[in-house]
Structure 1
Amino acid sequence: MNVQSRKQRELREREELFLDVARRLLLERGFHGLTMDRIAEETEYSKGTIYLHFGCKEELIVELGKRSRKQRLELIERGAAFRGRPRERVFATGVAVEIHARLFPDDVRIWEIMNAESIIEKIPANRQPDLKASDIAVIEILVQLVQEAVACGDLHLRPDDSPQEI
């Protein structure tokens, strides 16, 4: 059983508060309207406290994007687990992406903001792998489905193609 200390729980709750406010500000005011000053004002915490959790506003945006991508990945995994031939399962993963985009258009907007080169550049190198984890998982799922499609005859690759290239 994972028992968090009161201090750990308070830190996590405070981080959630910062993320909730950052999400709302980002969606209402855009990238330039999201500032640590505004987050501090709305949460009644000092900017220094916010910086203990997030080194810059770009880190807040990336964390919001990571959460959304995790949710999208869960839908894609459900699509890939659909009972059917690989071709149908690939289709189901595409439907999962479409459903996610329709149900959570704000998340799509956050991804678009997050993927700007100017934001990615400001993320510390030790947090960069976190950015790509969900995308790598999606690629692995799709490669597996392509391999299964080839194995059962649903897909025929040219001799110089590989499942990874597809």
Structure 2
Amino acid sequence: MTVTERKERQRVLREQLFLDKAAELIAKEGILQLQMAPLAKACDYATGTLYQHFSSKEDLLVALAGRNSCHQLRFFQGIVALEITSREKMLALSVAAKMNQQHYPSHARLEQYAFTEAVWQNASAARRQAILANCKPLADLVSGIVQQAINDNELPKQNCDAFSLSVAPWALCIGSQALEQTEGFLEAFGGNKDPLLRYRHLHMLLNGMQWQPLMDLNNEALIASQIKQLESLLEPWFQHCHAE
């Protein structure tokens, strides 16, 4: 190993340490409590060394969110390979997002926070480009499920490409997660903690898109059974992906 290669390896390991410790502190104390100087001290490095890796706290948060997306990609790739219908795959993606939210709540909150304008605009262009590159395979994966449905005559194209058709289910999933994570928000307007709410809404949307086979929205027992089956199917793969 050359001196240059050794230095690069040390740099990568040091950056990994900073991200690991930041994730640990966020899980314990919350995103807003994270500060650069205490983080550097917790890693036994000078604050200046930390800033050699990340230009700002926002830069670090975007980098951490990008790393988390790599775990999701492996998980979601497993969903595409399942022998289920394209509509069930789309529902399984929503179930998978919910599982991530339940098992790693700080990750889910970080993703929501990292894409706000205040964070995104203050991260470096390089970090923003890196997370977009990480997320591109996820977007392609979802578009692939949509394209499969179009090819199998399960979904009308509606003069849209596959990516455009994927935006509405994607936005519904992200929006549901944001509302659920804001404590007391839905309840303040008469809502309740209905575990099937996001899935019923997704079925409503897919029915409106004429995505076959249509779901009987009045059959709550069927929807609950479908979600339970998908959770059982996904749990082993979820554990495998996050154990790596």
Does structure 1 retain, via aligned residues, the 8 Å contact 2:146–2:162?
Answer: yes
Provide the identity percentage.
27
Kindly provide the amino acid, as one letter, of the partner of residue 162 in structure 2.
P
The Cα offsets for residues 91-135 of structure 1, whole Å up to 9 and x where unpaired, read as 333332222222222210111221221111111223322222343
* Equivalent in the alignment of 2:147: 147
Please list every run of 5 or more consecutive structure 2 residues that lacks an aligned counterpart in the other structure. 166-244
Between stretches 130-139 and 15-24, larger displacement belongs to 130-139
* Equivalent in the alignment of 1:164: 163
Q: How many residues align?
A: 162
Provide TM-score, normalisation by structure 2. 0.59
Between stretches 41-50 and 97-106, larger displacement belongs to 97-106
* Equivalent in the alignment of 2:200: none
The alpha carbon displacement at 1:53 in A equals: 1.4
* Equivalent in the alignment of 2:107: 107
Kindly provide the amino acid, as one letter, of the partner of residue 165 in structure 1.
S
Does structure 1 retain, via aligned residues, the 8 Å contact 2:27–2:106?
Answer: yes
The alpha carbon displacement at 1:41 in A equals: 2.1
The alpha carbon displacement at 1:9 in A equals: 2.9
Distance 2:128 2:68 in 1: 16
* Equivalent in the alignment of 1:27: 27
* Equivalent in the alignment of 1:18: 18
The alpha carbon displacement at 1:25 in A equals: 2.5
Distance 1:97 1:137 in 2: 16
**Correspondences of 1:1-166 after superposition (within 5 Å):** 5-158=5-158, 160-166=159-165
Kindly provide the amino acid, as one letter, of the partner of residue 28 in structure 1.
K
Distance of aligned partners of 1:6 and 1:125 in 2 relative to their CA distance in 1, 3 Å threshold: closer
